[in-house]
Amino acid sequence: MNTIQQIIHRIKRLKQFVVRVPVPRDFCFDGLVPFDIEITGSTAMVTVWAASEAEAQTRARDFFQNNP
């Protein structure tokens, strides 16, 4: 479990990343979208707040893969 100090430290380290991820052919928006997204063709430019670029890439990719 994270302490309040750990959570505050993580929030202070967050940076904004713009990552490109492929958009699945059968993707459709359903519900809240946690990012700023611009889709052109089959590629999305996703603006994500994360601690690293790798985390941002993972979060964006997971959003598109786990949304029915």
Tokens of 43: 């590629």
Q: In this structure, are residues 19 and 53 in contact, taking their beta carbons and an 8 Å threshold? A: yes
CB 29, CB 63: distance < 8 Å? no
- pLDDT at res. 30: 81
- Does the pTM of the predicted model rise above 0.85? no
Q: How many CB atoms lie within 10 A of CB 18?
A: 14
23 CA to centre of own chain? 13
Which H helix or E strand runs over 65?
Answer: helix 53-65
State the Cα–Cα distance between residues 27 and 37, nearest whole angstrom. Answer: 13
Kindly report, residue by residue over 13-48, the tens digit of the pLDDT.
Answer: 999 999 999 999 888 888 888 999 999 999 999 999
